[in-house]
Structure 1
């Protein structure tokens, strides 16, 4: 499922590393099968054999996995490592965009208009998809828009070459090998010829940006032509997305979430994706929907503050979590939800973003984590990624200085830690 405009799928973390950094290090993954996973520990080891030697060894592994010699040799004809893939794989941008800038591009007026047009153009297919999978058509359309601009930007790299490069000398060779075997299985099945298997540098493919293992589990032939063609068939791509969301726990008729207002003196430590309460319980705590539409009170939800206590607040449901399994970035999931609402005339926010706050750079996030560690607060790995452990450490420190414990990293917080 960057981007940053992201791409899909649990283990395709490689693909959306840029997005995770762009949203203050919120972990980002791609559309992989639930349960979600990560590709493993990055490897700094350089190849100890030539690419030709590695290819021959891998050929034996592929054949042991059921790949025919013809499929392998055809797919690997003329394949050499792609240096640009390694550059992208190892890229760690220092400066990134804040969430409000990301959303401005992701939920642009042009994308909303294009999505509304596509909803009309694909009415029949979307009706059948809704009946089959029980996933709101606007959510499916929003993911299509986020992943490939409605099929217009699917990437241009040879997927076999990209994955072979990652398997040979990337940071996560196991990820590359697993995806490469899956890609060869797709070719052997006859869904797409090797010449048409194009995608991103990390191997995300087609209009839905599935990585190969996700494709093998969730791609469907919805137009009945005998091929699961997420490159050329919008029906196959949209149905495959709906199938993935359904498998990830999407609940028919349930909202992804909605903007809320918080009462004075609210305990911001409640804003944690690990805390889930019935919406009725949130309402008893003084949390109120901004719009007049009343959600189902029994539905479980978590409170999300994507820009800390100074920015808009949201209650998000299990459908939001289903989007997270497609791409494990809260910014991405929020963009999908707001874009889906915008297709229906909604999506506008009452809360204001703290646009006067400059986001922390990667080196500043690392410094913040180190200073939290030095003060006895455990932020987890000192890697510049603001994950659950770091947010918990921030909250613990914020409480000691009587600041709102929202777990959000800011320049002011870093300056206080520097004291």
Structure 2
């Protein structure tokens, strides 16, 4: 499993600080498995099938270790993007776009999901299928369902995996994937495979690990199910005027494209998009760094992965694969280290701002809080925390 796969997955499902629910979790692992077996039988599965699914199941400590790793999301956008977007990834993307042109054409015709988006996730999740993860899928799901951080997410996935096993599409002994239980080239959870899996190559099976048509069509089907709006853009790099009101930036502010144009926002390449399309200005490293206009389809990508820096990088990479130039990095002010970010978050909490988890990651709530204190200090409210701001606090 590559470092890229690990970083793509570490927030793919929910915040580490997700609220606890009444979902059963914790305690003796064997007793927990016995409870899962009982529920599986109550759902109508035969005892022989249930026993075969859970035979040899074990708690995977490596999965728990991977689930706790979040450090990469502390990287600034430009560093993160340069780490992920390489010339080889771009070239491999172009080759795959040509090799599977008929499949991409069919997806765009049927679903309106562009090839750039699918290529981007295919690249970042598994390097175009080359590295799909070697964690036992069943063990990973049961381990995370037993762990009390997010049992409400993973317990249902265990039963979805049993359904796949019953259909002959998952071998609990040999099926492997990512540490969080995703399977295949575009890394889909069992429940998503059940609901959105597509037999793209016509062989009668949904095989996401070895069939490119199955993986791409299933990924497109999932995006549509998550709310993808056909044949609409997702991101455009922009230039803003010197007197731009940065309090209007961020995903909490949405205006029609025409209104942004009247405020002096201009596309760096091409046009801004349909006049009535709702859009937001995002500046991942503040007013001196790169800036983008993002549309409803950009928000859909957070259903795939909740990390802002990951989604913004994937969205930009998708535009690169469709011919856009590399973003203009500008001259952003230095950001904060992970420890400094935690100090900032703790100070913001003391000031009665909601930052979510104090985790050293610049998430959506922390950006909103930073913007509020920047306005108090008369600074450009761009949501980008700097050492100078930390010192002021």
Q: Which residue number in structure 2 is paired with residue 158 of structure 1?
A: 136
- CA deviations on 1:350-399 (whole Å, 9 max, x unpaired) are 34253x614331x3222212212334544455444434333222222111
**Pairs within 5 Å for 1:238-253:** 238-253=216-231
Structure 2 unmatched runs, 5+: none
Structure 1 unmatched runs, 5+: 9-14, 18-28
TM norm structure 1: 0.85
- Whole-angstrom CA distance in 2 between matches of 1:217 and 1:319: 21
Residues 1:251 and 1:172: Cα distance change in structure 2 (over 3 Å): closer
Residue 236 in 1 paired to residue 230 in 2? Answer: no
For residue 292 of structure 2, give the secondary structure of its aligned residue in structure 1.
strand
Contact 1:100–1:353 at 8 Å: present in 2 too? no
Residue 360 in 1 paired to residue 316 in 2? Answer: no
Contact 2:21–2:152 at 8 Å: present in 1 too? no
Q: CA deviation at 1:313?
A: 0.7
Give the paired residue count.
391
Q: Which residue number in structure 2 is paired with residue 48 of structure 1?
A: 27
- Whole-angstrom CA distance in 2 between matches of 1:248 and 1:47: 31
Greater shift, 367-376 or 224-233, is seen at 367-376
Q: CA deviation at 1:210?
A: 1.0
Q: CA deviation at 1:100?
A: 1.3
- Whole-angstrom CA distance in 1 between matches of 2:16 and 2:221: 19
TM norm structure 2: 0.90
- Whole-angstrom CA distance in 2 between matches of 1:381 and 1:100: 24
For residue 293 of structure 2, give the secondary structure of its aligned residue in structure 1.
strand
**Pairs within 5 Å for 1:115-154:** 115-154=93-132
Contact 1:369–1:382 at 8 Å: present in 2 too? yes
Q: CA deviation at 1:137?
A: 1.6
- Whole-angstrom CA distance in 2 between matches of 1:294 and 1:409: 28
- The correspondence for 1:395, drawn from 371, 381, 390, is 371
Q: Which residue number in structure 2 is paired with residue 16 of structure 1?
A: 10
- Whole-angstrom CA distance in 1 between matches of 2:373 and 2:390: 11
Residues 1:205 and 1:396: Cα distance change in structure 2 (over 3 Å): same
- Whole-angstrom CA distance in 2 between matches of 1:322 and 1:174: 22
Residues 1:335 and 1:284: Cα distance change in structure 2 (over 3 Å): same
For residue 406 of structure 1, give the secondary structure of its aligned residue in structure 2.
coil
Residue 286 in 1 paired to residue 280 in 2? Answer: no
Residues 1:310 and 1:228: Cα distance change in structure 2 (over 3 Å): same
**Pairs within 5 Å for 1:212-361:** 212-352=190-330, 354=332, 357-361=334-338
- Whole-angstrom CA distance in 2 between matches of 1:142 and 1:378: 32
- Whole-angstrom CA distance in 2 between matches of 1:48 and 1:303: 46
Q: CA deviation at 1:46?
A: 8.8
Contact 2:66–2:179 at 8 Å: present in 1 too? yes
Contact 1:300–1:318 at 8 Å: present in 2 too? yes
Residues 1:131 and 1:195: Cα distance change in structure 2 (over 3 Å): farther
For residue 113 of structure 2, give the secondary structure of its aligned residue in structure 1.
coil
Q: CA deviation at 1:232?
A: 1.2
- CA deviations on 1:273-309 (whole Å, 9 max, x unpaired) are 1211111100111111111345222211111111111
Q: CA deviation at 1:341?
A: 2.3
Q: Which residue number in structure 2 is paired with residue 26 of structure 1?
A: none
Q: Which residue number in structure 1 is paired with residue 388 of structure 2?
A: 412
- Whole-angstrom CA distance in 2 between matches of 1:46 and 1:115: 41
Greater shift, 296-305 or 322-331, is seen at 322-331
